[in-house]
Structure 1
């Protein structure tokens, strides 16, 4: 069974509401995919960024995902579930150096590892991992093209 739930990663209450809804309606949930995120203005160089822009990226790409993982862990734990997080390698390379986006994804990547270590140490039966899909031309990156960038169809 698949059902869409609207969750705003800027709104922690909406995340908690969704987790309660899922726990009531789908107590056997055994998988969570975190694939939401924002890119910010990827054309700005580090000196052009504002703290408010970095804050917004961190709120969605790091804190929103943190609340998703934390809120859904109890349900997934009962069902020996898995959490898949879609992310990117967070190291600046050549022509790809959007500071805010990379910094928020670096935080996400570290958090995934930290949760994995915690789950293992405390024998919490949840597997958490990341998937690095590579560059995909979407609205998120203003339909960027080039070497190693694929279309959605590809």
Structure 2
């Protein structure tokens, strides 16, 4: 009998994170819905649980070492392992702050969540992931962090985006973090990839995106459940690999 997979999704009380949790649960995965706001977290759990999904909430603020340690201890106590970690929690920060305008405090705030938060949660969960027969780590990134797209001679599809040191650079850094964890964990059979959900309608962009949360979540779910022959150290969108 195959054991039920255990997944932790950060920032899962809304948007793409909620959709990832919902789709994993629909595949029979036991999902731990990580979120820092207790009310929103439990509302999301109730919504998913109403459909019969195996889901429970777990208090987790990716910038708070105490909640990260407590979350890892809870997973350890309840399950003894973790099969899937989806680092979805992220913020855009102040998108009006362009390069050259100062604002380093805001850049640090964005990096604390989008980069250092991912590293902190991943490190805390690694002992549990190493106990899985098929560990998977998926980092939710964005193609706005692609160096190839940033440096396209004609500006490419990012031509209308101002030059910013916060959100897009944090996603570039997250891609590099992904590659380094993949290199480190290859010997353990843990597959680590970054994904771009596309321009998805969430509160991060005031719901201006052209894709639904369910559509944006699909690529993360695919990489979270890929078989042993799946990729590692990759950056993917629905259409295929994204240029680093």
Q: One fold, TM greater than 0.5?
A: yes
Change (3 A) 1:144 1:44: farther
Change (3 A) 1:153 1:125: closer
1:7-66 C-alpha deviation (Å, 9 max, x unpaired): 111112211110111011111421111110010012332233511001101111000000
In structure 2, the residue matched to 1:102 is 168
Report 1:132-143 matches (<5 A).
132-143=196-207
Higher relative contact order (CA 8 A, sep 6+): 1
Contact 2:60 2:67 survives alignment (8 Å):
yes
Unpaired runs of 5+ in structure 2? 1-29, 31-54, 151-157, 216-244
- 1:138 deviates by 1.3
In structure 2, the residue matched to 1:117 is 183
1:50-108 C-alpha deviation (Å, 9 max, x unpaired): 11001101111000000111111111111131111111120332123443001111111
Match of 2:103 among 25, 50, 63: 50
Unpaired runs of 5+ in structure 1? none
Q: CA RMSD in A?
A: 1.7
Report 1:1-154 matches (<5 A).
1=30, 2-79=55-132, 80-89=134-143, 90-91=145-146, 92=150, 93-97=158-162, 98-120=164-186, 123-145=187-209, 149-152=210-213
In structure 1, the residue matched to 2:11 is none
Q: Distance in 1 between matches of 2:102 and 2:63?
A: 20
User: Please, what TM-score do these two structures have when normalized by structure 2?
Assistant: 0.57
* SS in structure 1 at match of 2:62: coil
Contact 1:135 1:150 survives alignment (8 Å):
yes
User: Please, what TM-score do these two structures have when normalized by structure 1?
Assistant: 0.87
